[in-house]
Amino acid sequence: MSAHDLRLIPTDPPFVPDYEAAFQARERLASFLPRADEVTARVDDEIAFVDAGANTGEIHSPACAAEVPWDWFIERMDAAWPSRFSDLSTVTPCCRARCSLNDLEFTAPAGFARFKLEALDPDVVDLTGEQLSELERLLGTPLRRIWSRY
């Protein structure tokens, strides 16, 4: 049986909330998802790619909506790695639009972040808009929802 995990990441990859805000958001997320196996708040030393696992599908340009090849994305990830993903700027291969790798549109959302809230196998369909807004208010930043399946 596969697990479905909810990951919430800031839309600004280097953003890290202060300890108290992260603690409060973790506690609040746990109250929203009482059947989750575990709820954590985590800060990585560097920006990392947070994907949707087996839910991951196609990638599209944010400018023209054309599908972007996975091999191009992997090459761009390799090029961004020496900066430890602090420089995510790129040019799409389809329409030559300047954007961030974090702005690419995945059929199942994904993104780059140092901070993440994670609920393991929460046994819910999704958070409500009000719940997400409350977490964003506590953390002081907009969040991106990533449903991962493993």
Mind listing the pLDDT tens digit for each residue in 82-116?
999 999 999 999 999 999 999 999 999 999 999 99
* pLDDT tens per residue, range 6-58: 999 999 999 999 999 999 999 999 999 999 999 999 999 999 999 999 888 99
* d(C-alpha 82, C-alpha 71), whole Å: 18
CATH of 1-56+110-150, one of 2.60.40, 3.30.70, 3.40.50, 2.40.160: 3.30.70
User: Residue 90's beta-bridge partner residues?
Assistant: 99
**pTM assigned to the model:** 0.94
* d(C-alpha 69, C-alpha 14), whole Å: 26
> In this structure, are residues 86 and 47 in contact, taking their beta carbons and an 8 Å threshold?
yes
- Domain map (residue ranges) of the chain: 1-56+110-150, 58-107
| Alpha-helical runs (H) found in 43-117 | 70-80
